[in-house]
Amino acid sequence: MAAQQSSSASTQGRNETPEERSDRNWSELLQELRVTQTGAQILTGFLLTLPFQQSFSRLDDAQLTIYLALVILAAATTVLVVSPVSAHRLLFQRRLKPELVRAGHRAALGGLACLALVVTGTVLLIFDVVLGRDGALIAAGAILLLIVLGWAVVPLLAGRRRLQD
């Protein structure tokens, strides 16, 4: 029995109970959400101040559509990255930590996807106003590519290499 536990612990990298693992995963998720929330709040704040700028009235229909889509995406990002905290409050002390971790993980992934779109769309809008549509599409495409590489491709490749070691 001890050999099985030792083997299992070395395979998993940690010697922790399922409850301890859920607690650790929950803590790690909350740390990640703190970073995401800060970025989302800054972008949302920026977007919410734009209509009060004098030059906002000069946006064309496409720019206004992009802006409104960004406001919705920023709000969705906020909802998604805050929802694990709300769920925890509602389900506190009900011994549902593994379920909270799974739901929080999905919400965080959704929040990151929305944040990627908000960052890309914000670059698109700013470059469209400053340089025009062609420059905006190039800049937004470059940022989206960087996000996909940095947030998905590189981490997934690193995880794949770790499995092969």
pLDDT at 10: 41
Establish if 5 belongs to a structural domain: no
**Residue range 81-115, pLDDT digits in tens:** 999 988 888 887 788 888 888 999 999 999 999 99
Establish if 39 belongs to a structural domain: yes
Domain range spanning residue 73? 19-164
Establish if 13 belongs to a structural domain: no
**Residue range 51-82, pLDDT digits in tens:** 999 999 999 999 999 999 999 999 999 999 99
pTM of the model: 0.83
Establish if 68 belongs to a structural domain: yes
pLDDT at 165: 63
| Tally of structural domains, the chain | 1
Question: In this structure, are residues 144 and 116 in contact, taking their beta carbons and an 8 Å threshold?
Answer: yes
Main-chain dihedrals φ then ψ at residue 58, nearest 5 degrees: -90, 0
Establish if 2 belongs to a structural domain: no
pLDDT at 1: 46
Establish if 9 belongs to a structural domain: no
Other beta carbons less than 10 A from residue 84's beta carbon: 22
